[in-house]
Amino acid sequence: MSKKPKIQRASGMRDVLPEEQKYFQKILDIAENVVDFYGFKKIDTPILEETELFSKGTGLLTDIVQKQMYNLKTKGGDFLSLRPEFTPGVIRAYIEHGMKNLPQPVKFYSFGPLFRYEHSQAGRHRQFHQFNIEVIGEGDPVIDAQVIQIFYNILSELKLKNLIVEVNSIGDPQCRAYYKKVLTSFLKHKESLLCPDCRRRLRENPLRVLDCKEEKCQKITSQAPQIIDHLCEDCHRHFKGVLEFLDEIELPYRLNPYLVRGLDYYTKTVFEIFIDETQKTEDDKPAARSALVGGGRYDNLVKLLGGENTFAGGGAMGIERVVIAMKNKNIKIIKSDDRSVFLAQIGSMAKRKGLKLLEEFRKAKIEVGESFGKDSLKSQLKMADKMKAKYTLLLGQREALEGSVIIRDMENGKQETVKIESAVKEIQKRLKK
């Protein structure tokens, strides 16, 4: 029986192995391509930020800040946290670098790891990755629609079908405060029927009761007054505008009056994108429906973090969840290890010359397979076959002494000896045919 290694990865953390890197790369390539079209620029912010940035930005009442942050105290006495999301860091950078002086809106995208101390399960990890976008400095509802459209386009280009876009408006602090009162008084009468978490939420953040996944709570909230009916005129007009733009671009969406999102900074539009089926876990068990993308407008965050009153909105896509969705749909990434040319060598002198020759091919941007660690010709030729090489360069002791190399056509077995200096040119000529 094989023994477990003593040191294993920390609980909830994952290695992204080469097989999965292909998916990450593909998702990033497509996402960058799409946002580039819409004029987004890349921004990298630190993985470690002051804890206060998140307690203020993400919000003291959120599960993220209350339960999920990785906090540390430095030797110098600073309180820092591993970022649980991108948005507060990007906004801090916007303020810190005086970007209000740039033509507005500024559009940023980021990609990288985030950390949340969660119960790990399928699609929920303690270190995960997001592709995140933010549009700062524009309040028009067209921006909200465009953010949704961007993620919809990325997922569609990844060949994911049956996407469900859910949208809602949670108003601004004024109309939401009034709605909270209406909702609280409705829920107060039924408090004893709520789950313990929702009883706490009722006091701290009653809106979060609306997106509780417990059946008994959902039974109650399905009867609750809806925020849509309590929006102020401005929020109502804004939401109508977003929906009209979505209709115009024929993007299918569903109104979900229970969608409130788990972060404190949202104002007006909130949205999530799902895939229309129960996701399966990596070990093939069905998992709870989880969003691939989440986002919305947050018009008060810049001010809250010390900047001026500035409109903003954005969203983020969870890479691991998109990978699971792609695998469930059998979407394959074809990035083969095939090489059209293979370089085989026999003997130490040939190995040295081969190393130099390989560099010539690299400079000429021709991918050449090799197996310098192997000395037997037979096993090297086996490797060439595996890589489906069209040509194999054979470099033995004699060729090394003569300054030549044999080009073997792997299809018909024909061999030709050429000068080592002209090997690149000869291969180029043959590959062009």
Shortest distance (Å) from residue 60 CB to ligand HAM: 16
Q: Which is nearer to ligand HAM, 43 or 346 (CB)?
A: 43
Nearer to ligand HAM, 290 or 371 (CB): 290
| Nearest to ligand HAM of 152, 391 (CB atom) | 152
CB of 34 to ligand HAM, least distance (A): 16
- Quote the CA–CA distance of 291 and 124 in Å, as a whole number: 11
The Cα–Cα gap between 197 and 193 comes to 12
The alpha helices in 205-318, defined as continuous H runs, are: 215-221, 233-248, 301-304
| Nearest distance, CB of residue 201 and ligand HAM, angstroms | 17
Shortest Cβ contact with ligand HAM: which residue? 318
Q: Choose between 24 and 86: whose C-beta lies nearer to ligand HAM.
A: 86
Q: Which is nearer to ligand HAM, 132 or 380 (CB)?
A: 132
Distances (CA, A) of 201 to 174, 197, 206, 218: 20, 6, 5, 14
Continuous segment of H or E residues that includes residue 315: strand 312-318
Q: Compare residues 74 and 162 and give the one whose CB is closer to ligand HAM.
A: 162
Q: How far is the CB of 314 from ligand HAM (least distance, A)?
A: 3
Cβ(400)–Cβ(349) under 8 Å?
Answer: yes
Give 49's contacts (C-beta < 8 A, 6+ positions apart): 80, 81, 83, 88, 89, 92
CA distance 33 to 24: 14
Q: How far is the CB of 317 from ligand HAM (least distance, A)?
A: 6
- Residues 6 or more apart whose Cβ sits within 8 Å of residue 234: 172
- Find the shortest distance in angstroms from Cβ 155 to ligand HAM: 11
Nearest approach in angstroms of CB 403 to ligand HAM is 57
CB of 31 to ligand HAM, least distance (A): 13
Residue 35 phi/psi, 5-degree rounding, is -70, -25
Closer Cβ to ligand HAM, 316 or 326, answer by number: 316
CB 405 within 8 A of CB 424: no
Q: Where are the beta strands (DSSP E) in 64-178?
A: 71-73, 79-82, 106-115, 127-136, 163-169
Task: Please identify, using beta-carbon distances, which residue of 53 and 292 lies nearer to ligand HAM.
Answer: 292
Helix (H, G, I), strand (E, B) or coil at 151: helix
Exposed e or buried b per residue across 270-300, where buried means at least 16 C-beta atoms within 10 angstroms of its C-beta: bbbbbbeeebbeeeeeebeebbbbbbbbbbb
| Smaller CB separation from ligand HAM, 245 or 271 | 271
Question: Which residues have C-beta within 8 Å of that of residue 278, sequence separation ≥ 6?
Answer: 286, 287, 289
Q: What is the dihedral of CA 10, 13, 17, 20, to 10 degrees?
A: 170
- Name the residues that contact ligand HAM, by CB under 6 A: 85-87, 116, 118, 123-125, 128, 130, 132, 134, 263, 291-296, 314-316, 318, 320-321
The least CB distance from residue 208 to ligand HAM, in Å, is 13
